[in-house]
Chain A
């Protein structure tokens, strides 16, 4: 057991995995990962080639080069950094390179904000990366280790993004149970090179190796691009199975089992909160509180957002009377947040479905204390009792959440501005 914050837990796990290449650029709240890992490098605790790149774009580009050359490559980022590497995220997944990255979730500018929300990762949700969201530092540590096994699985071969909430996890000290170094080494195993079959039956290793002149990243036009995207879709489908298998195997080793979703008191739950990341911890605490008051409350934490475990979520929620889906990022102009939209559409053809409402919460690191989640359960209780949904899209922890009709700007011409029509110097 070690006292570690989420960032250090990730760095520690990476140290034990000892990847060949770590290329990263510091950004709050991910900095600790890069700093702590640099110390491991400086003290000779890893054999990793650490590359303090000049930007996140290069962090991912370098990881791509390294992974293509047959190395295990790790990086970490957040917010604007992730946004800057956005182009390369698609290339990492499209080239089927099993890179592992920790994304320390943080709000996106503007206005600039360094605190935790899921806007950064949600912007990358269609980038072809597997996205796992952690509830606490223990899970962050555990997931970084599992990530290699998932990413490098022969049926998957996709990059994995391990998401931890900025500050709430990244900078908060927790007790983390760690495995001995050999156990981690044994669990992740030696890096293997994928072998692919060409249509003529010839086998080729998928790696940049002088003995095999492969070309990666060719220009792929109307006749084949679609086919390659179909392959990626298939790999994501396999990932649903592999994430569970790896989580189970890891559970056998540590007693901590992981799956695609994490249902809490859901067996007989009538009211449920669906949430991702650290807020699940608070929600579980509040569910206990509601249970003590005789309310059949439960929490469904979604751990894997990509691939989206549609069937498991439907199964977990189908008997619930009312549920609130909590989104920590906005999809502007969309009817609800990304998690809500996806869960609602999952139920489209189901006969048995809960009444569903959506809350935006915690943007820019806005605190989500237990009493707010209690309010959510009370809202759900009322909805379940009356059958009246009311406002479907709501805001949690926002001052004045009434629908606005007077929020607009005035416009003025440059000429009027120069003539001091609205004051000025």
Chain B
């Protein structure tokens, strides 16, 4: 959480000042997606369908990358992957 500010320090009208990219929703996760990059065909379905905007395609290495800071572990990527390159693994407590 961000440090709480006084009314004199914050912008008027409830204007936000932080981007949610700084907010880690990865802690919500109980299952973690694991990618088998050998199976992955770079079809982009997981990137397109990820509701958490947590999967990126890195063109320089031609790989997809899952950002575990934001992934909530819904499993849509694994479900939608046409070649079953993603498996959901239980997070350790």
Contacts and interface: CB of A to CB of B under 8 A. Distances in A.
The answer to whether A and B touch directly, with their CB atoms under 8 angstroms apart, is yes
Interface of A: 94-97, 157, 194, 196-200, 202, 204, 206, 214-218, 220, 223-224, 226-228, 230-231, 234-235
B4 interface: yes
B20 to A, nearest CB: 10
Q: How large is the interface on B (under 10, 10 to 19, 20 to 34, 35 or more residues)?
A: 10 to 19
Among B7, B13, B15, find the residue whose CB has the most chain A CB atoms closer than 10 A.
Answer: B13
A199 B13 contact: no
Interface in B1-32: 4-7, 9-17
A215 B10 contact: no
Contacts of B11: 196-198, 204, 206
24 contacts: A94-B14, A95-B14, A97-B13, A196-B12, A196-B13, A197-B11, A198-B15, A199-B5, A199-B10, A200-B17, A204-B15, A206-B12, A214-B16, A215-B15, A217-B14, A220-B14, A223-B4, A226-B7, A228-B7, A228-B10, A228-B14, A230-B7, A231-B10, A231-B12
A235 B13 CA distance: 11
B15 A196 contact: yes
Given A94-B14, A204-B11, A215-B16, 20 more contacts: A94-B13, A95-B13, A97-B13, A157-B12, A196-B11, A196-B13, A198-B15, A199-B9, A199-B17, A202-B17, A204-B15, A206-B11, A206-B12, A206-B13, A206-B15, A220-B14, A223-B4, A227-B10, A228-B10, A235-B12
A157 B15 CA distance: 14
Nearest to A227: B7
Among A197, A226, A227, find the residue whose CB has the most chain B CB atoms closer than 10 A.
Answer: A227
B19 to A, nearest CB: 9
Contacts of A226: 7
B12 to A, nearest CB: 5
Contact of B10 (A96, A206, A224, A234): A224
A214 B7 contact: no
Interface string B73-86: 00000000000000
Among A196, A202, A230, find the residue whose CB has the most chain B CB atoms closer than 10 A.
Answer: A196
Contacts of B7: 226-228, 230-231, 234
Nearest to B20: A215
Among A206, A217, A220, A231, find the residue whose CB has the most chain B CB atoms closer than 10 A.
Answer: A231
B40 to A, nearest CB: 32
Contacts of B6: 227
B22 to A, nearest CB: 12
A228 B16 CA distance: 12
Interface string B33-77: 000000000000000000000000000000000000000000000
Contacts of A206: 11-13, 15
A96 B13 contact: yes
A300 B85 CA distance: 80
Nearest to B6: A227
A235 B7 CA distance: 12
Nearest to A196: B11
A68 to B, nearest CB: 9
Contacts of A228: 7, 10, 12-14
B2 to A, nearest CB: 8
Contacts of A223: 4
B13 A216 contact: yes
A88 to B, nearest CB: 15
A202 B5 CA distance: 15
Given A223-B4, A227-B6, A227-B7, A198 B17 contact: yes
